[in-house]
Structure 1
Amino acid sequence: MNQTTSLGRIVVAMSGGVDSSATAALLKQQGWDVVGVTLQLYDHGQAVCRPNTCCAGKDIHDARAVADVLAIPHYVMDMESTFHADVVDKFAESYVRGETPIPCVLCNQTVKFRDLFAIARDLGADALATGHYVQRSEGEHGSIMFKGADPARDQSYFLFTTTREQLDFLRFPLGGFLSKDETRAIAARYNLPVATKRDSQDICFVPDGDYAGLVNKLKPGAIRPGQIVHVEDGRVLGAHQGIIHYTIGQRKGLGVGGGDPLYVIRLDAEQAQVVVGPREALGRTRISLRQVNWLGEGDGADFRCSVRVRSTRPPMPARVQLDGTGGGQVMLDLPEQGVAPGQACVFYDGERVLGGGWIASAR
């Protein structure tokens, strides 16, 4: 894998998984001077044996082992306090407000991009690479982001907050791959010890899935019991132990039986109410956005595109109007279900990512 000339220095964000490890191997093979950086995001001692996570003790060990095989420098940066303030605390606050947060987006926006960018520049890097499945190309007015080639692994929804400046500095070597098998084949080709390692699946700081337990620990007294009421007439159908246990569109586990199926339509944090109703009541056609990040040309004042309102939902046709101060309105052509405050609404022009914003409300 040795090269006589270098394309420049590139920092690779190495989480200890197969994606970032294969990214480092590919870039070294291409002729880059690769430097691996792993972010320690929570207590090393407590994290050593956590399965299905990233940036934990074992993952740091795995990243270092990969760096040894590739013969590249490897640094571990302690970002625990920053991660807690920018991601974990905000995750808890969002749930208390009755939202459905996406901590992976916050992590990409803050610790992994904002802070890792500064680290990469301090190391004299010409670029920063990650193992995300998105694509990037140079356009007439700067860098452009596209969906990953494999629709099943496309991660563009989670990177909508990436700024133009960051996109210029970023590289995504895996974005054009058509399957995860290609990535694992690269890891195996270079004898990387993580070639068969399974993917992380859980929120890294809530590996047991007990969101309520975490929120109760971080925000004592913030989880209040309340009523489950019907959206049509407000009649009380039951009681709940905290709105954090529910999410928009949820059907199972509501604790109210009999009659037609009911779904969570709205969460009212102020009144501590879970509002339920029939499936058709879930439909939303107008969405208000906050903290919009625009990656298209012009100011995006009024345009048509496709929007994705959850990572698991297909893009839907819509009209978008941005106010130029970070806010925006989305008018969907057809009602969309499961639109939840705290999630993202990401804009697409075909395969191109035009940006997106955080969902503040929907009606």
Structure 2
Amino acid sequence: MREKVVLGLSGGVDSAVAAGLLSKEYEVYCVYLDIGLGGTGRADARAVAEGLGLPFEAVDIRAVLEAEVCAPFAADYLAGRTPLPCARCNPMVKFPALFTTADRIGARFVATGHYARRLTGEDGRTLLLKGMPANDQSYMLSRLPREMLPRILFPLGDYEKNQVRAMAGEAALPVADKPDSMEICFIPDGDYAAWLDARGATPPPGDFVDRAGNVLGRHRGIHHYTLGQGRGLGVSGPHRYFVSAIEPEGNRVVLSDGSDLHAAAAYCVDPNWIAVDGLEKPMEVTVRLRHSRTEAPAVIRGMSGGIWIEMHTPARAPTPGQLAVFYQGDVVVGSGWLAAPERRA
């Protein structure tokens, strides 16, 4: 008898190809996580499952998504941080929902169409590894509790996106030509400021100021801006302006010429360790400070309940609310949420 696996089937090409690959070795049970926004995702996911002859179920996750992702997302923006909702959703909503279904039907594994890999180390620990360089998604998975990893499968971990597209076409999957979704799932039009405004209680307009406190103009509300932003400010002067700081307590957005945005160090909190049990001594790593392929060498040290990151080369605009993810080679060591850069908390 083949092992059972619960697959998160989103209605996109990645999870559709994952379903086809998994069905060669496992008994696959497809689950669509419904956030209640309509669209074609649910119908597309069902069509893929039916085309492959796989059982299908839709699970309503609206309430837990609101509590664990949407409400914190709004709170972060109102506090002057730039949140990363997908990195919260994976450990708090998506994977727990899949595991709940897996436990109900007696499935050993859950799976998704993420581009990442896992490996069992010499000590028996299950490690999280990068996917292929062009489309690695380990950054967004770095908050997964390491206890979950032995039960997670990433069937696309050894593939590039172009290979997955080709496999979808060869298999004549109904979503083979469907465009990739690049937006936050609960804000499909990408206008997060309008979404926040619709929830109510967003900050009013206030002052753009320079580092000396001189007023440079008026902003539309601090939730419209993020650290390092240089577009859409509407302020003219002797040089181009960038957002240098966001001060919710005074409802001010600080602008500069950008020369003060590079930080030689950063601080992050709430560490999630995967490859190690903790940080007993300084560790040489490479670090990603945003969701990109940019990785830089650094030393990390434990302090004040968090992690102090000393960059070998100053990094541009480490942004509170984003993740710092630590790597050694392809292995995800752990991660932490960025707090105030260049200031020890």
Q: CA deviation at 1:93?
A: 0.8
Q: CA deviation at 1:324?
A: 8.9
> TM-score, normalised to structure 2's length?
0.95
1:20 is matched with which residue?
15
| Contact 1:345 1:359 (8 Å CA) reproduced | yes
Q: Confirm or deny: 8 A CA contact 1:299 1:324 kept in the other structure.
A: no
Query: Cα offset for 1:206?
Result: 1.4
Identity among equivalent positions (%) equals: 39
Q: Match of 2:107, SS?
A: coil
What residue ranges of structure 1 are gaps of 5+ in the alignment? 49-57
Kept after mapping to 2: 8 A contact 1:223/1:242 = yes
Q: Which residue of 2 aligns with 1:200?
A: 181
Pairing of 1:242-281 with structure 2 (within 5 A): 242-281=221-260
Are the counterparts in 2 of residues 228 and 237 from structure 1 also a CA contact under 8 Å?
Answer: yes
Report the Cα offset of residue 297 of structure 1. 2.6
| Distance of 1:251 and 1:139 partners within structure 2 | 44
Is the 8 Å Cα contact of residues 202 and 223 (structure 2) preserved in structure 1? no
Equivalent residue for 1:226, pick from 189, 206, 209: 206
Gap change, CA 1:324 and 1:275, over 3 Å in 2: closer
Shift of 1:298: 4.1
The Cα offsets for residues 108-141 of structure 1, whole Å up to 9 and x where unpaired, read as: 1211112322221222111111100011111123
**1:41-60 equivalent positions in 2, closer than 5 A:** 41-43=35-37, 47-48=38-39, 58-60=40-42
| Alignment partners' CA distance in 2, 1:135 and 1:147 | 6
Task: Say which of 280, 296, 304 aligns to 2:284.
Answer: 304
Unaligned runs of 5+ in 2: none
1:283 to 1:170, Cα distance in 2 relative to 1, 3 A = same
Distance 1:323 1:127 in 2: 36
Distance 1:256 1:270 in 2: 22
Q: How many residues align?
A: 340
Cα separation, 2, equivalents of 1:361 and 1:89: 22
Distance in structure 1 (CA, Å) of the matches to 2:338 and 2:287: 12
* CA deviation map 1:197-236 (0-9, x unaligned): 1101111221222222221222x233222111112x2211
Could you tell me which residue of structure 2 aligns to residue 40 of structure 1? Answer: 34
Alignment pair present for 1:239 and 2:218: yes
> Does the 8 Å CA contact 1:317/1:332 hold for their aligned counterparts?
yes
**CA deviation after TM superposition for structure 1 residue 285, in Å:** 1.8
Is residue 196 of structure 2 the alignment partner of residue 215 of structure 1?
A: yes
Decide whether the 8 Å contact of 1:147 with 1:352 is kept in 2. Answer: yes
| Partners of 2:91 and 2:145 within 8 A in 1 | no
1:82-161 matched pairs, under 5 angstroms: 82-141=64-123, 142-149=125-132, 151-161=133-143
Please tell me whether the aligned partners of residues 78 and 202 of structure 2 are also in contact (alpha carbons under 8 angstroms).
Answer: yes
Does 2:161 align with 1:180? Answer: yes
Whether 1:318 and 2:313 are equivalent positions in the alignment is no
1:172-201 deviations in Å (ceiling 9; x for gaps)? 010111x21211222233321111111011
Give me the whole-angstrom Cα distance separating, in 2, the residues matched to 1:26 and 1:298. Answer: 33
Question: Matched residues in 2 for 1:342 and 1:136: separation?
Answer: 26
- Quick check: 2:17–2:167 contact (8 Å CA) kept in 1? yes
| Offset, 1:313 | 5.4
Contact 1:16 1:61 in 2 (8 A): yes
Aligned equivalents of 2:92 and 2:12: distance in 1?
Answer: 20
Report the residue type matching 1:65 in the other structure: A
Cα–Cα, structure 1 residues 277 and 313, in superposed 2: closer, same or farther, change >3 Å?
farther
Equivalent of 2:328, from 345, 349, 357?
Answer: 349
User: What is the one-letter code of the residue matched to 2:34?
Assistant: Q
For 1:87 and 1:361, locate their aligned partners in 2 and report how far apart those are by CA, in whole Å: 22
Per-residue CA distance 1:83-127 (angstroms, 9 max, x = gap): 111111111111101111111111112111123222212221111
Normalising to structure 1: TM-score of the pair? 0.90
Q: Relative to structure 1, is the Cα distance of residues 108 and 298 closer, same or farther in structure 2, using a 3 angstrom cutoff?
A: closer
Write the distance in 2 (CA, Å) between the matches of 1:298 and 1:345.
Answer: 17
Answer yes or no: is the 8 Å Cα contact 1:344–1:357 preserved in 2. Answer: yes
Q: Could you tell me how far apart the structure 1 residues matched to 2:331 and 2:30 are?
A: 29
* In structure 1, C-alpha distance between the alignment counterparts of 2:185 and 2:114, rounded to whole Å: 17
Gap change, CA 1:307 and 1:77, over 3 Å in 2: same
1:14 is matched by which residue type in structure 2?
A: L
For 1:259 and 1:332, the matched residues in 2 are separated by 31
Runs of 4+ in 1 over 4 A off after TM superposition: none
Shift of 1:323: 4.6
Q: CA deviation at 1:19?
A: 0.4
Taking structure 1 as reference, are residues 70 and 324 closer, same or farther at Cα in structure 2, changes over 3 Å only?
A: farther
Shift of 1:328: 1.6
Cα distance in 2, alignment partners of residues 268 and 238 from structure 1 = 15
